[in-house]
Every structure is written in structure tokens, then in C-alpha cells.
Amino acid sequence: MTNDLQNRRDILIEAALKHMAFDGWSNSALIQGAIDAGMPENMVLRVFPNGMNEAIEHFADWSDRRMVAALEPKGLDVMKVRDRIHKCIKTRIEMNAPHKEAIRRLLSYLALPMNAPLAARLAWRTCSVMWYAAGDRSTDWNHYTKRGLLASVYSTTLLYWMNDEGDENGNFPDTFAFLDRRISDVLKTFGVPYQLKSMLSRLPNPFSLRARL
């Protein structure tokens, strides 16, 4: 993708979000966004020739890039791993808070059975971006386990946030407290394979036992 195409897509998606909140993720909302951004209506087809799913994929990519940029000055490298993950999810939610209703409509769209593969792909990609931002470079089974567990944490926190009206300052302390609990639960779960592996390593080798018989 050229920088010019990416920039046009970014501008169009951002301008369309306020219309998504009312019209859902629809072509009419994209067209209104294009008009607001000073683009011709046919720009929608030019930058998203493959339709709405392509626009949604770009919104997810745009959010990933903005999240990574917002995380850079936060000093993740000096934090504990759980704090890094917490910061990633919190940053993404706070960053997209102005577009909460558009995201609500997006989740409804992704909840349709025919869109399940798209929903899974976007969640996996975002969680992978979060882990890379948190410093993870694993390539073994940990790579997949970490992303699968984080997808569960991220998706349930996102759903909790949908029902959280926030406090008088526009913050979401209840959502982030929920996030803390979910991370704690997952850390306990993630520790099970290591405990099992340690237990198995202490068992006698069955082949050495046979050799003694």
C-alpha cells in the first residue's frame, strides 16, 4: 500500500466514524465521511474497492498504528509484563473512546455469523501488535498461547467497556479494574502449563526404569 492510499484511507475512515455511530458500518456512512473530508463520493470505491470489510480492516490497522504511536513515550520497557499489557489495552480503549458508538456498531456487525472469520482475524492481529509493543518476540508455542489468551482478555474488556458509562471525568475506572482482574485470571491460567511441565520433568524416565528391570 502506498503512503498516499494509506493517508486517504485514514482521512476517510476518521471522517466517517461519526456517521458510523448512527448509520452503522455502511456505504452511506463512508460516503458522508468522504464528503466531510472534501473528497468526491466515488473516493469510497477508489480507496476501498473490496467493500465494507476492507474498510473495517483498515480501521483496525489505523487503530493499531495509533496505539503503537501512543505507547512509544510511555516507557513500556521498564514495566512488568502485566503492566505493559494493561497499558496497551487501556491506551487503545482511551484512544477510541470518542468513537465508542461507532465501535459498538462495529461489534454488532462483526457479531454476525458470516463475519466471524473477519472478527477473529482482527482480534488476533491487534493482540499480536500489543504483544510486540510489549516486547514479546517469542516464536514457539508461547507465541500462539499468548495471543490467544490476550484475545480473550481484550474482547471481554471491550464488551465490558461497551456497558460502562464512565465517571464524571469521562474515564472508565470500572473497565480498567475489570481488565486488572482478567489479566490476573489469565496469568494464573498461563502458569498452569509451566507447572505441569515442571511436574513432568520430575517424574522418572520410564525407559530408565525399564532398563533397571
The total of other beta-carbon atoms located within 10 Å of residue 105's CB is: 20
pLDDT tens track for 95-131: 999 999 999 999 999 999 999 999 999 999 999 999 9
In Å, the largest CA–CA distance within the chain is 84
Question: Which residue from 112, 114, 102, 3 is spatially nearest to 55, judged by alpha carbons?
Answer: 102
Q: Could you give the 3-state DSSP secondary structure of residue 165?
A: coil
Question: Which residue from 130, 8, 118, 19 is spatially nearest to 65, judged by alpha carbons?
Answer: 130
Say what the pLDDT of residue 190 is.
Answer: 61
203, pLDDT greater than 60:
no
* Cα 6–Cα 143–Cα 174 angle in degrees, nearest 5: 75
DSSP secondary-structure letter at 166? -
- Residue 148 contacts by C-beta under 8 Å, 6 or more apart in sequence? none
The type of residue at 18 is K
Mean pLDDT highest for which of 2-6, 65-69, 209-213?
65-69
Please spell the DSSP secondary structure of 48-105, one letter per residue: -TT-HHHHHHHHHHHHHHHHHHHHGGG-GGGS-HHHHHHHHHHHHHHHHGGGHHHHHH
pLDDT tens track for 25-43: 999 999 999 999 999 999 9
d(CA 179, CA 94): 13
d(CA 19, CA 31): 9
Question: Which residue from 177, 154, 157 is spatially nearest to 167, judged by alpha carbons?
Answer: 177
Say what the pLDDT of residue 131 is.
Answer: 93
d(CA 185, CA 134): 19
